Structure 1
Amino acid sequence: MSRGETGARPPRRRRLVLAVAAVVTVAGGGAAVTVLANPDSRDTVPAGSPGLSSTTASVTRVDLSDSTRRDGTLGHLGERRINAGAAAGGGAGGTLTWLAPTGSVVKRNERVYEIDGRAVRLMYGAEPMYRTLKTGAKGKDVRQWEENLAALGYTGFDVDEEYTAKTAAAVERWQKSHDLRRTGTVGPDQIAFAGSAVRVKETGAGSGGDRIAVGDRITPGSPVLTVTGSERVVGFRIPAAEAGSARAGTRAHVTLPDGTRLPGKVSAVGRTATVGDDPQDKTPKIDITVSFDDPDKVTGVDQSPVTVELTGETRKDVLSVPVNALLALPDGGFGVQVVENGRARDVEVELGMFGQGRVEVSGEGLREGMKVGVPSA
């Protein structure tokens, strides 16, 4: 049969289903995609026209984007524990007299908890508070403490890794402002370090561990709070083989449970692929974290399901047809059935980007506004 008028199409369209599925899997990664254009219009072909599809769709120019959609979960940055610090000179601990409430955000120099009425305040830094700092002490933890003092306005010393008499004088001023005994030294019974402001997730060890409450006896090293970072983020997992679709810096849009759509980007990509808990899915996957451009606009409770759209390549102003308009041609390749003046002809096409039910096409004689046959719904 020539590529002029065509005969019946149903058998060839059925054969095409698997072929198109294979093409979409290769070209689109098997993921949902987005079309940045208006939907195509469809016309009904008069009944009884031999060889013609019962419906048609327009060849249109659109902007196609191969963005990938994933299901994610709303949460906060990494989880960690804050343990009770030892008092200077040791000691057996004391009674918990105050605790930052669940869901609250604790910032620099604010109270995290109190033991026997003595507050432990949060400071920023990666080094743990593991010893009492005093004149003559040296190390990264000294610099970290001095950076916090300077950030709070207690100056008059060099911010370095040496705890000097000038540092001690600044510490005394800090202690005076909090009605503490002015010793010039500071230890784990007065401050705790975290990378930034923290959000209190729960009391105690978390993850099913023991909970604590005001009035409980606390010993040094006991878990007091389970906290996360204060910033809202989204987490999801993807197969390790598809890691290229979610590199650090990849732009994204997150649709929240209330329908709000907010921009962001991939801020962290896991380095280790692991198999999840689903016994039916043994595909190695990696963890992806998306941070919001404006976290203050994020609403919704922790662990809420969200949709993440990872932005891929965008092709501007390309000719496109619905995916189900494609035909598998007898000699190989793909074509479309162009319908004009009540007659049909096959036009061979080259395929480009796929996007939400449409595909970029190019071919001799193909132009915007043409009608192409599509199968009936």
Structure 2
Amino acid sequence: MSGGPSDPHTDQRRPLGRRRLGLALLAVVAVAGGGVAFTALATPEKTPVGHPGAKGLPPATTPVTRGDLTDSSQQDGTLGHLGERKINAGGTGGTLTWLAPSGSVIERDERLYEVDGEAVRLMYGGEPMYRTLKTGDKGTDVRQLEENLAALGYTGFAVDEEYTAKTAAAVKRWQKSHDLKQTGTVGPDRIAFAGSAVRVKEAGSGSGTGSSGGDRIAAGDRVTPGSPVLTVTGSERVVTFQVPASEAGSAKTGTRVRVTLPDGTRLPGKVRAVGRTATPGDDPQDRTPKIDITVSFDRPDEVKGIDQSPVTVELAGETRQDVLSVPVNALLALPDGGFGVQVVENGAARDIRVELGMFAQGRVEISGAGLREGMKVGVPSR
């Protein structure tokens, strides 16, 4: 007898056409993660009532599309600046008479602060200014000074690690340009080194007992050699975020990203640095070891937003190019455990077995005999 309750030919339509998201959804949850598909999701088309082959047809259809499918993930990040360090007082100390204001960007040969009315200026270099340089001195700090003098146009010497009489002559010309006594020697009472231009974050903390753990120093305060004067960062805007140590491979150096700023602007960038040490996260409810990730922008001049603003980072994952894909809810869980789609053509529906590829948010790559771009497949009604 055919068509009875126990007839397998009749019963098989129920798991195919109605249990569309049963086992399929479990697979999607396990594989898809938080990916994003850059292939647009088509709008389902309603099957007309009274269509000649309406019996057994799905309530809606959507086309099989061809294009690139990219798996990506989103992370919560924080907008900030690259690095943070202290600028400490040099020389013999004295009364602080001027400080660069918070938020200002200080470039080569510009003032950082003044003590007793005498300016300490920024020069670029990785080694701190720890001594007064004079003729006969040798070292990396000598080269750094000479590189800066040459960049400022005070030439006439060889840029090397030896402080010669020609170096001293260039220093005198630099001193004259700033109305200083022309001694030909220069030390930490005149110069502070940093790797590049810096942005002033805030005045350094004194030894008081203010609400923040220390009174902020200001003009008129006394400073001693080595005491913090300014807290600075790099001038470049960056984003920082954390990922579980087990997922560190998703954010390798050079990985492309898109950052959504607080105003909704989306800007491209890449992972600049990946931490080497896993530490517990800040959330007391989640002590999973995490890795710090730093992102730089391709177009830093376009970055707007207040420091420490929350942003969203979209990490680009694997891209599958020129593939066929359908919405995840077009999948059918077949009786034998495989997957298929319900193709609608000429008013009739038939099932095609498919092989699954990449899952991205809402879509899945499919392949199989008889599939083609534009073919209509069944989806549940919205």
With structure 1 as the length reference, what TM-score do the two structures score?
0.90
Within 5 A, what are the aligned runs for 1:101-250?
101-205=101-205, 209-250=214-255
CA distance in 2, matches of 1:145, 1:321: 63
Alignment counterpart, residue 20 of structure 1, candidates 3, 24, 28 = 28
Kindly indicate whether residue 40 of structure 2 is the aligned counterpart of residue 33 of structure 1: no
C-alpha displacement of 1:205: 3.9
1:73 & 1:7 partners in 2: Cα distance?
A: 49
SS in 1 for 2:67: strand
AA in 2 matched with 1:31: G
Alpha-carbon distance between aligned partners in 1 of 2:258 and 2:88, rounded to the nearest angstrom: 37
Does the aligned pair in 1 maintain the 2:36–2:360 contact within 8 Å? yes
State the secondary structure of the residue aligned to 1:122.
strand
Q: 1:213, CA displacement in angstroms?
A: 0.8
- Alpha-carbon distance in structure 1 between the residues aligned to 2:189 and 2:223: 12
Cα distance in 1 between the residues matched to 2:130 and 2:237: 29
**Is 1:256 aligned to 2:258, yes or no?**
no
Tell me if structure 2 keeps the 8 A contact 1:81–1:205. no
Identify the residue that residue 27 of structure 1 maps to in structure 2. none
Query: The residue matched to 2:353 in structure 1 has which SS?
Result: strand
Distance across 2 between alignment mates of 1:121 and 1:10: 74
User: Structure 1 unaligned runs (5+)?
Assistant: 25-29, 88-92
Quote how far apart the aligned CAs of 1:220 are: 1.1
**C-alpha root-mean-square deviation of aligned residues, in Å?**
2.2
272-281 vs 95-104, greater mean Cα deviation: 272-281
Please tell me whether the aligned partners of residues 47 and 61 of structure 2 are also in contact (alpha carbons under 8 angstroms): yes
* Corresponding residue of 2:3: none
Say if 2:344 is the partner of 1:339: yes
Aligned residues of 2:129 and 2:187 also touching (Cα < 8 A): yes
Q: State the partner residue of 1:44.
A: 46
Residue 34 of structure 2 contacts residue 360 of structure 2 at CA under 8 Å; is this kept in 1?
Answer: no
CA contact (8 A) 2:19 2:332 kept: no
Q: Mean alpha-carbon deviation: is it higher for 141-150 or for 199-208?
A: 199-208
Specify the code of the residue in structure 1 equivalent to 2:42. D
Find the partner of 2:305 among 295, 300, 306: 300
The answer to whether the Cα contact below 8 Å between 2:340 and 2:351 also exists between their aligned partners in 1 is yes
Letter of the 2:41 counterpart: P
Match of 1:96 in 2: 96
After the TM superposition, which of the residue ranges 8-17 and 220-229 deviates more from structure 2? 8-17
For 2:155 and 2:107, the matched residues in 1 are separated by: 20
Q: Which residue type is aligned with residue 282 of structure 2?
A: D
Greater CA drift, 361-370 or 15-24: 15-24
8 Å contact from structure 1 (residues 42, 56) kept in 2: yes
Separation of aligned partners in 1, 2:321 and 2:235: 39
Question: Any conservation in 2 of the 1:5–1:345 contact (CA below 8 Å)?
Answer: no
- Give CA deviations for 1:115-146 in whole Å, capped at 9, x if unaligned: 00000000000001111111121111111111
Query: Which residue identity does 2:29 align to in structure 1?
Result: A
Deviates more, 1:67-76 or 1:147-156: 67-76
How big is each residue's C-alpha offset from its partner over 1:46-95, in whole Å with a ceiling of 9 and x where there is no partner? Answer: 569554432222211122112332222111100111011123xxxxx211
State the 1:376 CA deviation. 3.4
Change (3 A) 1:256 1:291: same
Aligned residue for 1:58? 63
Question: Which stretch has the larger CA shift, 1-10 or 335-344?
Answer: 1-10
- TM-score (norm. length: structure 2): 0.89
Tell me, yes or no, if the aligned pair for 1:111 and 1:122 is still in contact at 8 Å.
yes
Q: 1:33 to 1:222 in 2, by over 3 A?
A: same
Contact 1:7 1:51 in 2 (8 A): no
2: CA distance, partners of 1:186 / 1:258: 47
Q: What residue is the counterpart of 1:327 in the other structure? A: 332
**TM-superposition CA deviations, 1:260-302 (whole Å, max 9, x none):** 2222221111111111121222222211111112211111111
CA spacing shift, 1:208–1:44, aligned 2, 3 Å: farther
**How many residues get paired?**
366
Give 1:354's aligned residue: 359
Q: Are the aligned partners of 1:323 and 1:359 in contact in 2 as well (CA < 8 Å)? A: yes
Moved more, 94-103 or 231-240: 231-240
Farther off after superposition, 304-313 or 261-270: 304-313
For residues 62-101 of structure 1, what are the structure 2 equivalents within 5 Å? Answer: 62-87=67-92, 93-101=93-101
Does the CA contact (< 8 Å) of 1:5 and 1:51 recur in 2? no
Q: Deviations over 1:11-52 (max 9, x none)?
A: 46334322321232xxxxx223131x3431311235695544
Is contact 1:5-1:343 (8 Å) kept? no
Gaps of 5+ in 2: 1-7, 207-211
